[in-house]
Structure 1
Amino acid sequence: MFTAGAENLLRQAREIRDEELGRLCSRICALLGREDWGPDALDALRRLFLIVSATKHSRRLEQPCVELLQAALCSPTCPEQLQLLCAAVLREVSPSRSLSLTCDRVQNTQQLGLVASVLLAQGDRKQVGSVGQCALRVLESRQPEGPVLRHLLPVVSKVTNLAPDALHEEQTNTLNRRLGDWLRHASVQQGVAHSSGGFFSTPRARQPGPVTEVDGAVATDFFTVLSTGQHFTEDQWLNVQAFSMLRAWLLHGSPGGSSTPDADDRSELEGSTLSVLSAASTASHLLPPQERLREKAFEYCQRLIEQSNRRALRKADSELQKACLVEAVLVLDVLCRQDPSFLYRTLSCLRALHARLCGDPTCVRALLPVAQFFLHHGEAAAVDAEAVYQHLCTRIPAEHFHSPLLALEFVQFCRASLPLFGRHLGVLRSSFPNLFKFLAWSSPPLTAEFVALLPSLVDAGTAVEMLDLLLDLPCLTAALDLQLRSSQAASEKPLWDVSIRAASCLEAFRDPQYQALFQHLLRAKASGTTERLVPLHQLLQPLAGCARVAQCAEAVPILLQAFFAAVTQFADGTLTSQLALLLLERSDTLYEVPGYQARVHRVLSSQFLALCTRRPSLVVEQAKELLEFVGSLGGPHGGGHMLTSVVHRGADQQVFRSPGGPALRGHAVAAFGCPPHVSPPGHHRAHDHADQAGFPEPGPDPQGLSVPVEDAEPGPEPRCGLRTRRGRRASRSLAGH
Structure 2
Amino acid sequence: MALSMVDAILAQARNTTQEDINNICSNALVNFGIPEKRGQCMKLLRQLFLVLQNFNSKPCILPKLLANLFLSAVSVKKSSRECILCKQIFMELLASDVEGENQIGEMLTNKVDVKQGINSLPFYYVQGRKIGCLVKMVSEAVRWLSTSEADFDVQRKSFSFIVAVVTLHSQVIKRDDIGEVNKFIPNWLMEASRHQASNPATLNPFKKEKTLVTEIDGTPSRNFFTILNVAQYNTDDQFLNIFTFSMLYQWLDHTIKVVPTTADDLQSLTSSQGTSSVSLSPSLPKEFAMLTSRVIDYCFRVFDQCERKPKVATDVDFQNACLMETINILDAICKVDKEQTPRVFQEVKRLFSMLSSDTNRTPRVMINLLQFFINHSATVVHDPQYAYTLFFNQLLSQKFKEHHIAFDTVMLLHDNLDTLCYKTNVLSKFFPNILKIIAWNPQTFVKEFEDILPAMITQSTALEVFHRLLELPCLTACLEASDKLKRGDINDMESVSFQALQNEAYKPLFNYILSSDCGHGDTINKLGELYEALHDMRDSARVIVCSEAVPHLLGVYFSVILEDGNEEFASCLVSVLLERVSMLYDVPGYKKNVKKLFADYIVKLLSQYPYIVIKQRGEIIDYLMNTHNMTDDRFFMHLVWSVGEFCSSVLDSNCTAKIISKYYEVLETLLYEWSSITMTSGPDQEFPPRLLSILMSASAKLASRCQDLIPRAVLCLTKVYSQLCAPNELPGDTKDSLLTTTQELINLFSFPNFASVILNPSLEIQSGRCHQDNMCLPIVLRATHNMLLVDCSKKKLLETVK
TM-score (norm 1): 0.71
Q: Please say if 1:600 is aligned against 2:597.
A: no
**Are the aligned partners of 1:329 and 1:370 in contact in 2 as well (CA < 8 Å)?**
yes
Paired residue for 1:558?
552
SS of 1:245's equivalent in the other structure is: helix
SS of 2:132's equivalent in the other structure is: helix
State the one-letter code of the partner of 2:213: V
State the one-letter code of the partner of 1:577: S
Paired residue for 1:505?
497
Paired residue for 2:632?
639
State the one-letter code of the partner of 1:299: D
Q: Counterparts in 2 of 1:158-197, with a 5 A limit?
A: 158-195=164-201
Q: Please say if 1:611 is aligned against 2:608.
A: no
Paired residue for 2:379?
380
Paired residue for 1:19?
none
- Displacement, 1:666? 4.1
State the one-letter code of the partner of 1:511: N
- Displacement, 1:281? 7.5
Among residues 644, 649, 673, which one is paired with 2:642 in the alignment? 649
Paired residue for 2:443?
444
Q: Partners of 1:345 and 1:519 in 2: how far apart? A: 43
**Are the aligned partners of 2:495 and 2:536 in contact in 1 as well (CA < 8 Å)?**
no
Change in Cα spacing, 1:716 to 1:690, as seen in structure 2 (3 Å) is closer
Query: What percent of counterpart residues are identical?
Result: 23
- Displacement, 1:282? 8.5
Q: Partners of 1:670 and 1:645 in 2: how far apart? A: 17
Q: Partners of 2:316 and 2:635 in 1: how far apart? A: 56
Q: Partners of 2:688 and 2:674 in 1: how far apart? A: 20
**Are the aligned partners of 1:393 and 1:431 in contact in 2 as well (CA < 8 Å)?**
yes
SS of 1:443's equivalent in the other structure is: coil
Change in Cα spacing, 1:66 to 1:245, as seen in structure 2 (3 Å) is farther
**Are the aligned partners of 1:258 and 1:338 in contact in 2 as well (CA < 8 Å)?**
no
**Are the aligned partners of 2:145 and 2:154 in contact in 1 as well (CA < 8 Å)?**
no
Q: Partners of 2:605 and 2:290 in 1: how far apart? A: 61
Q: Please say if 1:255 is aligned against 2:257.
A: yes
- Displacement, 1:613? 0.8
Q: Counterparts in 2 of 1:379-398, with a 5 A limit?
A: 379-398=378-397
Q: Partners of 2:689 and 2:277 in 1: how far apart? A: 75
**Superimposed CA distance per residue, residues 472-502 of structure 1 (whole angstroms, 9 cap, x where no aligned partner):** 00111112223334446x6xxx9xxx98667
Paired residue for 1:296?
294
Q: Partners of 1:375 and 1:241 in 2: how far apart? A: 29
Q: Partners of 1:147 and 1:593 in 2: how far apart? A: 61
Among residues 308, 313, 320, which one is paired with 1:310 in the alignment? 308
Paired residue for 2:781?
none
- Displacement, 1:593? 1.1
**Superimposed CA distance per residue, residues 28-66 of structure 1 (whole angstroms, 9 cap, x where no aligned partner):** 999xx9xxxxxxxxxxxxxx9xx99xx9xx99xx99999
State the one-letter code of the partner of 1:606: D
SS of 2:732's equivalent in the other structure is: coil
- Displacement, 1:596? 0.9
State the one-letter code of the partner of 1:177: K
State the one-letter code of the partner of 1:408: F
Change in Cα spacing, 1:97 to 1:248, as seen in structure 2 (3 Å) is closer
Compare the two structures and name the one with the higher helix fraction: 2
- Displacement, 1:201? 8.0
- Displacement, 1:539? 0.7
Count of residues in Structure 1 that have an aligned counterpart in Structure 2: 609
**Are the aligned partners of 1:620 and 1:661 in contact in 2 as well (CA < 8 Å)?**
no
Paired residue for 1:584?
578
Root mean square deviation of aligned Cα: 4.9
SS of 1:222's equivalent in the other structure is: coil
Change in Cα spacing, 1:668 to 1:568, as seen in structure 2 (3 Å) is same
- Deviates further, 252-261 or 448-457: 252-261
Q: Partners of 1:675 and 1:477 in 2: how far apart? A: 39
**Are the aligned partners of 1:601 and 1:639 in contact in 2 as well (CA < 8 Å)?**
yes
Q: Partners of 1:66 and 1:314 in 2: how far apart? A: 56
Q: Partners of 2:238 and 2:341 in 1: how far apart? A: 29
TM-score (norm 2): 0.65
Q: Partners of 1:503 and 1:510 in 2: how far apart? A: 11
**Are the aligned partners of 2:195 and 2:211 in contact in 1 as well (CA < 8 Å)?**
yes
State the one-letter code of the partner of 1:232: N
Among residues 146, 159, 163, which one is paired with 1:157 in the alignment? 163
- Displacement, 1:374? 2.3
Change in Cα spacing, 1:155 to 1:86, as seen in structure 2 (3 Å) is farther
**Are the aligned partners of 1:440 and 1:552 in contact in 2 as well (CA < 8 Å)?**
yes
Among residues 314, 325, 339, which one is paired with 1:327 in the alignment? 325
- Displacement, 1:320? 2.0
**Are the aligned partners of 1:473 and 1:552 in contact in 2 as well (CA < 8 Å)?**
yes
**Are the aligned partners of 1:190 and 1:229 in contact in 2 as well (CA < 8 Å)?**
yes
Among residues 504, 509, 522, which one is paired with 2:514 in the alignment? 522
Paired residue for 2:477?
478
Q: Partners of 1:146 and 1:562 in 2: how far apart? A: 55
**Superimposed CA distance per residue, residues 416-467 of structure 1 (whole angstroms, 9 cap, x where no aligned partner):** 2334347742243111111111121112221111111112111111111100
- Displacement, 1:321? 1.3
Higher relative contact order (CA 8 A, sep 6+): 1
State the one-letter code of the partner of 2:162: V
- Displacement, 1:94? 8.7
Q: Partners of 2:510 and 2:557 in 1: how far apart? A: 24
Paired residue for 2:621?
627
Which is greater in Rg? Answer: 2
Paired residue for 2:770?
none
Change in Cα spacing, 1:564 to 1:128, as seen in structure 2 (3 Å) is farther
Q: Partners of 1:377 and 1:98 in 2: how far apart? A: 45
State the one-letter code of the partner of 2:645: D
Q: Counterparts in 2 of 1:136-155, with a 5 A limit?
A: 136-155=142-161
**Are the aligned partners of 1:365 and 1:406 in contact in 2 as well (CA < 8 Å)?**
yes
State the one-letter code of the partner of 2:504: P
Q: Partners of 1:88 and 1:348 in 2: how far apart? A: 53
Q: Counterparts in 2 of 1:201-280, with a 5 A limit?
A: 209-255=211-257, 259=261, 261=263
SS of 1:352's equivalent in the other structure is: helix
**Are the aligned partners of 2:327 and 2:369 in contact in 1 as well (CA < 8 Å)?**
yes
Q: Please say if 1:531 is aligned against 2:524.
A: yes
Paired residue for 1:365?
364
State the one-letter code of the partner of 1:374: F
- Deviates further, 559-568 or 141-150: 141-150
**Superimposed CA distance per residue, residues 269-297 of structure 1 (whole angstroms, 9 cap, x where no aligned partner):** xxxxxxxxx987889xx982111111111
Q: Partners of 1:641 and 1:238 in 2: how far apart? A: 68
